[in-house]
Each structure stands twice: as C-alpha cells, then as structure tokens.
Structure 1
Amino acid sequence: MEGVVARQAWGLAQDGPAWVLLGLTRQSADLCCVHTLNVLVPPQGISVIHASWLSQALVNAPRPKFGPRYRLAMSVPAHALAAGQMACPLDVPQQAWPSEVQLEVAQALSLPPEEVSFDFESEASGAGMAGQIRWVGCARSLVADYQNWIAAVQGWRLALVEPEMDAARRGAQALVGGLPSLLQQAPQDWQFRWGSKVLPDLDGSSRDDVHWDGVLQEVLSAPVGARLVASGLALKAWA
C-alpha cells in the first residue's frame, strides 16, 4: 500500500477567502502531473478569519481513492509572515543560534518568543568574516490552527507548512515549459519534473535573484498564483 500512496501528494494554498486543493501523481520516473484540482470556498455567512470550515470542505472534496492516507502540505501567506536576515553571532555557539533567531522573529512579529514558529538557514562566508542567517517565521497559533483543521479530517495528514513564496518558486522551477506554461496551459494540464530532474533555478542564477522574486510576486497576484503555490506544496510533500 505504501508504494501506491507514495505516487501522489497534495498541496493546499490560500486564495483570498478560498483555498486551492491540488493533487499531483507520478506520471513516469521523473514526471508528475495534476490529477485533482478543487477550489474550496467558505459557506455563505461563515467567517473566513477562522477557517475551521476547511475540515468539512476536505471531507467533501472529491479525490481519487489512492489509499487510506493523503499527504498534504499547506502554505502560509506573505501577510502572515516575517522574514529577514542577520549576521551569524560569532560569539554564540552554533547550537544556540535557534534561540537568537527566535528572539529576532518574535521582535519582528511583536509576539513573545514562545509564541512564534520559525525556520532559518545559515550561509557561510570567508575566513574571519561573519556569515548570514536567513530566517522566516509566523505566529505559532497559525500553525496550530492548520494542524487542528487537518487533524479533524480522517485520512489527511499534514506533512509540513511553508511560506507561499518558497512553494511558488519550487513549482516554477519544476514546471515543464517554465513560467510561460502558466499562461499557455490550464493548471489541469501542467506537468512537473521532480527529484534529480528539477532545474536548480528559474534562470540559472541564485535563488535570491531579485528579478525572479519580482516575477513570482506578479504570478502570486494573478489568478493562477495559488494553483502554482499548491503545486509546489505537493512537490514538497513528497520529500
């Protein structure tokens, strides 16, 4: 059964008051395609501030019967995130860096340190020079909400939560035909490279290229944006 389940994964991305649920399935050894695309819309009169209606929407969402479990990744929208960078504290042991980052995130979100969720990565620099730590974080309560919404639905498992920009970048990197395919094909027809066949970057430049960040921001503001994010999330859920 695990071999069957591993052939598909899901992404759930916010699109205004609605959520886009997109499932990918392996088409060949290095390609996957969209097998399901649903837009989950809140019932009329239901507050979308607390999206607990998502649990029931997932129960009712049509989906292929691949197995007893559905591996899902969800995105955090940019407005709910704080992100930044800081110099690696050379006078602090590396194992203590998470505490330093946690304080930085808490200050950016105006929350107590124990009320934030965060992730970070460090970039080495030259000898005798401080490297950089790139961090991102959100309110811990938001992640807890996501976990509770999915835990309430039998068969779904929340594998991870990540920023929507990261998911969009992954989807764009893996999309067969590149970004032009977003305009030339319906999302149901998208195909993605995955595993070792995924291109390292959108244009061969570094992942922090300002130009491509701008392009992705434009994509995210378009109707197709949430579908690209959901695709990138599904690719990540396979990891």
Structure 2
Amino acid sequence: MNSSFELKQWESDFFNRKIFSFNYKSGLSMIKNFPVNSLIDIKLDARDYDAIDFVNRNSFEFIEGEICFKREVRDESYFSLNGQGLENYIATFEAIEELKLTVTGLYENSRFREPWFNVSERDSFYRKWIENAVLSKFDDCCLILKDRGRISGFVTIRLKSDVATIGLIGVPKPYQGQGVAKNLLELTFEYCKSRNIKTVSVATQLSNVSASKLYIKSGFTISDVFYWFYKKV
C-alpha cells in the first residue's frame, strides 16, 4: 500500500468498510493509485492552497469546514458547584444508556453524513463515542448537568499534558436555548482548573454559527481553520 494512505483501523472496523486517511505531505505529485473499494478522507489547513488544488483535481468532494478555538484556564471561579464535589458531575456507568438516547439524532450536521454514512451509522458512531468517554476509553471523562433527574447537557473531555480538548458537547432539544451550553463550558473550566490544565481547545463545523458565537462569547479565540474532503473509490 502506498505510504500516503493510512488505514483508519477503528473506523474501518466500526463501519465495516475500508476507510483511509490521505497523507498528502508524502508528496502530492507521487500519487497515482488510490486504494480501491474504500473511502478516503483528508483534513487540510484552510491556507494550504496547493493541497486544496490537488484534492479538487483528484475528485475529492468538500464535506465540511472545521474551526478550532482555544482558551486559557485562569485561577478564578467559573461554575457554582452548589456544595457538591466535581465528582458528582462526572458521568458514571449508570448514565450511559440515557446518554446514548441523548446523542441519537443530535449531530445532524456531522461529517459522518449521507451519502457517505447513513443516519443509523452516524448515530451508532456517536453512541459509541459517548459510551467510550464515560468508560475513559477515548476521552477521559464525560461531565453532565441534570434537571429534575434528567440529563440536560453533557461534555466529553480528553486530557493531554496541560491541555484539555472538548470532544463532544451536546444539549437535548428540550433544554436548548436555556444557557445549558454556557454552563457546560464553565463546568469544563472548573474541572480543568482542578487538574491544573492550562488550555482548553474545542472544534466545531464552520456551518455551526451558534456554537462559534458561544465559544467567542465564552472567551475562546480562533486558532485554526481546516477543510474536510472525501473521495470514494
């Protein structure tokens, strides 16, 4: 196999098809044979015009833009714990089934969308993601907020050195527009502060204007912009 193509083993196994990531840095002019019967994805810096021109010439299809944000964690109070410890906001095994129901249908604008992935595949992907976050198998934890015993919002967090990356953040439709997402970010800052995390990063689709507005209003600044492309061979 050409070294420009890296098999994404977990996604290939999960979706039961060959999915490759295209490493264009190995030399754009050297690519001649793409792996057959596969889906190839590539994530490009929005300023890398040579690579964007290359994928356009080679019949890749634009999928979505991704905008990345960062914010420093300062030594201040972000979220009122109401006398509870932070551990009371960390989702446990008992919350998994409710979280799976919560994410179903929530990410309609995901890059895992039709015609490349059907709705069932997309929802299954996010159900597995949230389960793995609770079990600390990918993200390190999942924080949740509740309203009268029901989950009103969740956020998954992955820690590496002194940086925390938000994986999934979601608010069920009955609770949207009530400031829950803002509270989730503040809870995230409080959690990160307790673990001496210096920076929080998060990414969202360029088309998700409301999320971008929320992050900017919450003190995040733009760090990068990327484009996703797919090629079905």
- TM-score over 0.5 (shorter chain): no
TM-score normalised to structure 1 length: 0.27
Which structure has the highest helix share of the two? 1
